[in-house]
Every structure is written in structure tokens, then in C-alpha cells.
Amino acid sequence: MSGEERVLHVQIFGEGYALRSADPPDYVQRVGQYVDGKFYEVAKGSPSLPPAKMGILASLNIADELFRQGASFRESEAAAAAKVAELVALLDAGLAPS
């Protein structure tokens, strides 16, 4: 967060929400639009669900994305660390006195 908190308004699944945030308004709007999109994805697949259940399913979908991205990041980080270790070993071998 940066700056002073203010009240920002977002629309999610046809409902308005006032959010207190110190984040930039465009960021808060993007987050709100993302969540709104997740609600509509759930509604498209199960249009008769009550909004509360849509919220739970949308939350589960978002959490699933977050967990998968975290796992992907950790795999990429591990691969990069292994490559760096390999390069360091090659440099050490190349710089070792003969």
C-alpha cells in the first residue's frame, strides 16, 4: 500500500462496494474487475446458484489460480537457482589454477 487511505467504489456482480484502500484507484478497479469476472465465469456455468455460493466458488477459483501460480513460481525459482549454481561451478572450474 502507498499513500493515504480513501474510499473507492467497485462493482462486483451487479452490487456496489465501497472499499477503504491506500492503493491507487486504478489498481483497486482492476482487482474489482477481476473478481467481477470470476463471478460471471461461475454464473455462466451455474446460473441458478445463489450469489453467496457463486462467491464461494469464485473464491475457490481465485485461490486455485493463486496456488498454481505460486507453485509455478517456486519451480521457476528452483530451476533458476540450479542454473546459477551450475554457472558458478563452471566459472569456478574455469578460474581454478591449473
For the chain, give every domain's residue range. 6-95
pLDDT digits (tens, 9 = 90+) for 50-73: 999 999 999 999 999 999 999 999
Question: What is the pLDDT at residue 2?
Answer: 57
Residues in the chain: 98
**59-64 LR contacts (CB < 8 Å, sep 24+):** 62/35, 62/38
35/32 Cα distance (integer angstroms): 5
Q: What percent of the chain has a predicted confidence (pLDDT) above 90? A: 88
Are 20 and 5 in contact, with CB atoms under 8 Å apart?
yes
pLDDT at 12 over 80: yes
Mean pLDDT of 87-98: 86
